[in-house]
Amino acid sequence: MTRSERSLPRWWLALLSSFVATVCLWAAAKLPWSDDWTLFAVMTTALGVVHALCALAALVGTPLRGKAWRVQSVGALVYLAYVTWNLVRTSTYVAELYGGLGKGVAISLGLVWLIVVGLTVPLAAWCFAMTGGLRPGRVAKGSAAVALVLAGWGIARSRDAAAAQPVVQPEVASQVQQLVEDHIPPMAKPPQGAPSLSTKKPAKCPKAPGASFTTVVATYLEADEAGRPAPTSRCFQGDGVAPFEQMADALLGASLGGRVKVDVITGAQPLQHVVPIVDSMLLRPGLDGVCEGSRCLMPWQMLALDAFNTNTPIPVIPDLRFGVSPVELRKALARPGATGLIPRAVEGLTRIETQSFVTDADGAVHGLRRMRTSGPALEPDAMESAVAGAEAYIHSAIGRDGRFEYKLDPFSGLVAYRGFALARQAGTTLVVCELSQNDARARAVARKALSMMQSTERRTGALGMLKYPKAKPAGHVRLGDTALAAIAFLSCRERVGTRYDETIDRMTKFLLSMQRDNGSFHPEYDYDAGAPIPGPDPLYAVGQAIFALVLLEEASARESGIFTDAHEVRAAVDRAMDYIAEDYWSGFVRDFFFMEENWNCLAARAALGHHRHEGYEQFCLDYVRYKTRLILGEDDDVDPDLVGGYGFGNVLLPHNTGSAGFGEAGSAALEIAAARGEDASDIEAALRRALRFLLHHQWDDVACFACEGPHPVVGGFSEHMGSPTIRIDYVQHAWAGLGHSGRVLGLL
């Protein structure tokens, strides 16, 4: 040692070691992959204990604290090597499984590694600097060389383990679609009132899929024990074309007609534990099915079960769900009446890959991937069909009480209102009035929706504000609910007339009262105290308030004496636009990223005819150009299904609303750029990618072979390609993105 034990630090060493010990012991106890005393839990606990002992030695001031510090530091480096090895192995596995690591996973794993480095390296480096450094001998050097060789071997094994082995015979693999087409006989029309092909029951095969034979699973309508038509999945196995011939015989002998769904299993991979957080991602959303022995669920059935969103990696955040849960998979695969303890590990399950086909109402066979066809080209006919489908879906989603249905499960037809919010009601109403082609239907829908929102108004003097539900005390009223509703009411005047003008006047007076002197807005209003509540700028609501006032300014100038004087409104809009352009998101951060500012772009577009503002328009253009970086392109090494998605890579699927929101803001930016005489070809290129993505992922007649319920599903949008749930705001934003973009690009 170059220093005496007495000269070593005490208080800082105790403080820093205690901090690392606390973090490690918390991680070992709380993180979900520390259950059941895995190696991660044991090593993390051990690291926490040695740090705690070192902290205790430093506090006591014992001369042995130097040795305790070195033991702690060596342990920290060993732990770092363990984590590094697992992260590299995980990256390799995921890269092989998903065909490219993906930016999102790369960033996430890099951040995890940096956290571990921050907890281990600085304190260890300080230790070796204070206690004489490291002098590895021959044994240590040899051990390191062996470790590197083993690491390379382990990484190679990880790549091999992620690849599915072919389980379709070579002579079949090259002509799967032709064999399917040749062996589906002409089908009669299904009986009146027959259900769809929606079934969550696994297919029971004679034996587990294997390489020495071909496995075909067909789903069709068959009479149940009571003689009623019901969907059933049958598994056929054999050499060459034999399983296809068995399928044809079954369809001729037992099918009650209608559509047929066929999955040919082409690959299988027994699942092996990688690391717990990755185990939940071993099945690719929408692409992979799963077998336990000879009982198999097809990829589309996994979607119907919403199986790709059942894992909760952090129990304290129950809404954070992604990936599969082995327990839930085994429940879905279990034989009727099965009992006993359900294993939590992935071992015993097999990932399967399939080629997927379905017939349409005319009997034509279509290839499917993630329950979608290849998708139409970005052409006028496709755009017209897409916006018409979205319009029909939303028009049919208005409830008796004027609320739009919030959620729909396309595989069961169940509708839910839980999660209803005024903002989503208002946003949907806005698009109905902006884009509907069926004017009579749009007027009827808009009146019901507006009347529902009007019923939630709370008045205080000349001010009116919305708060849902009306049965509860107003308390604190958020700016955004009233701001977005005011946009809808003003935008719908051409459809519904002047019947809501008094409500509009009160709501817009409320918005004006919420504006600060610098042009920004208070986030909430204390209804009981009768005064705004100071606070930071609320996300979305500032842009919504400006949008509403821009529309109000135009209406006041056109029809004086009905609303607040146009000059007063114009001054308020000027202050708000100045604030956004100069103070709201200025300085260093603006060159790198923005928050969600779509509403400011929509406001800037609405102001083009009567209130131009250079800085406010530039804010929108800068924001949209930032968002173009997040629209995935062909050169981003992602799955073709994801091109045009708004996201980070292959593993974390892009949500449809992200691309739809870009469509809304991007179309506004193109109109602004055109008014300014500026080139925006970069924005247009990204916008076209996003629109193709939306066209590809909209529910259509072919994809709806398993859609159930009285509510139409065609025209709707799910959250993403790994989640079936349709939500009204998913459809609303997609309709707005497609409709406005189609107009500005000349496609509608």
Predicted confidence (pLDDT) per residue in 218-238, tens digit: 999 999 989 999 999 999 999
Instruction: Find the mean pLDDT for residues 681-689.
Output: 97
pLDDT tens readout for residues 404-444: 999 999 999 999 999 899 999 999 999 999 999 999 999 99
pLDDT bracket for residue 1 (50, 70, 90): very low
Say if residue 215 is in the same domain as residue 228: yes
CB burial of residue 319 (10 Å; 0-12, 13-18, 19+) = exposed
Reduced to 3 states (helix: H, G, I; strand: E, B; else coil), residue 375 is coil
**Choice between 278 and 121, residue whose per-residue pLDDT is larger:** 121
Residues 6+ apart with CB under 8 A from 739: 387, 390, 431, 434, 435, 748
Beta carbons of 350 and 208 less than 8 angstroms apart: yes
Residue 376 domain-assigned (yes or no): no
CA distance from start to end of the chain: 79
For the ranges 84-98, 101-115, 171-185, which has the lowest average pLDDT?
101-115
Say if residue 202 is in the same domain as residue 330: yes
For the ranges 92-96, 466-470, 492-496, which has the lowest average pLDDT?
92-96
Say if residue 150 is in the same domain as residue 203: no
Residue 340 domain-assigned (yes or no): yes
Residue 180 domain-assigned (yes or no): yes
Say if residue 119 is in the same domain as residue 209: no
Say if residue 204 is in the same domain as residue 323: yes
Residue 22 domain-assigned (yes or no): yes
Residue 466 domain-assigned (yes or no): no
pLDDT at 139: 47
pLDDT at 337: 77
Say if residue 186 is in the same domain as residue 297: yes
- Provide the 10 A C-beta neighbour count for residue 100: 19
Q: How many domains does the chain have?
A: 2
Beta carbons of 430 and 488 less than 8 angstroms apart: yes
Say if residue 210 is in the same domain as residue 280: yes
124: pLDDT strictly greater than 80: yes
Percent of the chain with pLDDT over 70: 89
169: pLDDT strictly greater than 50: yes
pLDDT tens readout for residues 492-518: 999 999 999 999 999 999 999 999 999
Q: What are the φ and ψ backbone dihedral angles of 8, each rounded to 5 degrees?
A: -75, 150
Q: Which of 342, 368, 394 is the last residue of a domain?
A: 368
Say if residue 268 is in the same domain as residue 129: no
Residue 124 domain-assigned (yes or no): yes
Residue 291 domain-assigned (yes or no): yes
User: Which residues partner with 465 through β-bridges?
Assistant: 458
Percent of the chain with pLDDT over 90: 68
Reduced to 3 states (helix: H, G, I; strand: E, B; else coil), residue 41 is helix
358: pLDDT strictly greater than 70: yes
Say if residue 128 is in the same domain as residue 157: yes
Say if residue 19 is in the same domain as residue 77: yes
**Choice between 465 and 135, residue whose per-residue pLDDT is larger:** 465
577: pLDDT strictly greater than 60: yes
pLDDT bracket for residue 317 (50, 70, 90): low
Q: Which of 308, 333, 368 is the last residue of a domain?
A: 368
pLDDT tens readout for residues 66-78: 889 989 999 999 9
Residue 283 domain-assigned (yes or no): yes
pLDDT at 96: 66
Instruction: Find the mean pLDDT for residues 323-338.
Output: 88
Say if residue 261 is in the same domain as residue 318: yes
CA atoms within 13 Å, Cβ hemisphere of 471: 0
Residues 6+ apart with CB under 8 A from 432: 394, 395, 442, 445, 446, 449, 492
Say if residue 119 is in the same domain as residue 172: no
Please give the residue range of the domain that contains residue 44: 5-161
Q: Which of 306, 340, 368 is the last residue of a domain?
A: 368
**Range from 39-43, 53-57, 715-719 that averages highest in pLDDT:** 715-719
Beta carbons of 734 and 656 less than 8 angstroms apart: yes
> How far, in Å, CA of 50 to CA of 538, rounded?
46
pLDDT at 2: 43
Average pLDDT, the chain: 89
